[in-house]
Chains A and B, each alone.
Chain A
Amino acid sequence: TQLLEQSPQFLSIQEGENLTVYCNSSSVFSSLQWYRQEPGEGPVLLVTVVTGGEVKKLKRLTFQFGDARKDSSLHITAAQPGDTGLYLCAGPHGSGNTGKLIFGQGTTLQVKP
């Protein structure tokens, strides 16, 4: 069974601080995706990482895919209140050629001004 474990589950920090969210599995994933979800809305895709060791940057957000494609991390530099939300990692089930995504439990981030 493919599982994704995220840590931490909750994070409350001050504006300007840095943080890292982790997404780990004992299974290999063909790719991993990071979503951000705000209350009452659906998840919005931030990035997809495909190649082991890949690093992608989206403004102050840096995403990394582990060399073995079993883990990923999201690092936010100088967090802002607008970064507040639920961050989810997800990976395709099996070979990834169907519409079934496995999700981590999510990390709730609160950035206080």
Chain B
Amino acid sequence: KAGVTQTPRYLIKTRGQQVTLSCSPISGHRSVSWYQQTPGQGLQFLFEYFSETQRNKGNFPGRFSGRQFSNSRSEMNVSTLELGDSALYLCASSSGTGRETQYFGPGTRLLVL
């Protein structure tokens, strides 16, 4: 079974631009969660999508948004990028029906200049 894939793996943007990251979950998984990882804050939850609906949301500003498609693939978008948005963005997938394991993708490394 293929694992969670994320594209692109690396991205360089400048302040004020916007960016879209993509996540393809493990086949059959309906839940996709997004996390931001930085050296100072560690791993912080952004949001979770289940069956195309946002089911849970972390404490991030509205510049961070996401969506999920009918095939469970998910995208997250960050508008008006700030230097502090530089981070590793991770997505994780699970079946979403209980307290099951989340499987993480390799992440997208975003650098904002």
Which residues of A pack against B, CB within 8 Å? 30-31, 33, 35, 40-45, 48, 88, 90, 92-93, 96-106
| 0 or 1 for each of B45-61: is its CB under 8 Å from A? (1 = yes) | 10010100001101000
A80 to B: closest C-beta gap in Å: 23
User: A98's closest neighbor in chain B, by CB?
Assistant: B56
Whether B99 contacts A96 by the Cβ 8 Å rule is: yes
Segment 55-77 of B: residues with Cβ below 8 Å from A? 55-56, 58
Please give me the residue from chain B that is nearest to A48 by CB atom. B101
**Between-chain CB contacts (< 8 Å), 18 pairs:** A40-B106, A40-B107, A40-B109, A41-B107, A42-B4, A43-B43, A45-B103, A88-B43, A90-B43, A93-B45, A96-B99, A99-B94, A100-B33, A100-B56, A100-B58, A103-B35, A103-B43, A105-B42
Tell me which of A42, A99, A105 contacts B56 (CB under 8 A).
A99
For residue B22, CB closer than 8 A to chain A, the reply is no
B42 & A43 in contact (Cβ 8 Å cutoff): no
For the residues of B in contact with A, the DSSP-based class is strand
A104 neighbours in B (Cβ, 8 Å): 42
Contacts of A35 in B (CB 8 A): 104
Say whether B90 faces chain A, with CB atoms less than 8 Å apart.
Answer: yes
A-B contact count (CB 8 A): 66
Q: Which of A42, A88, A101, A106 has the most CB atoms of chain B within a 10 A radius of its CB?
A: A42
Does B102 make an interface contact (CB < 8 A)? yes
- Judged by a CB distance under 8 angstroms, whether B92 is at the interface is yes
Report whether A42 and B105 are in contact in the complex, using a CB–CB cutoff of 8 Å.
yes
Is B98's beta carbon under 8 Å from chain A? yes
**Are A101's CB and B102's CB within 8 A?**
yes
B24 interface residue, CB < 8 Å from A? no
A106 to B37, CA, bound (A): 11
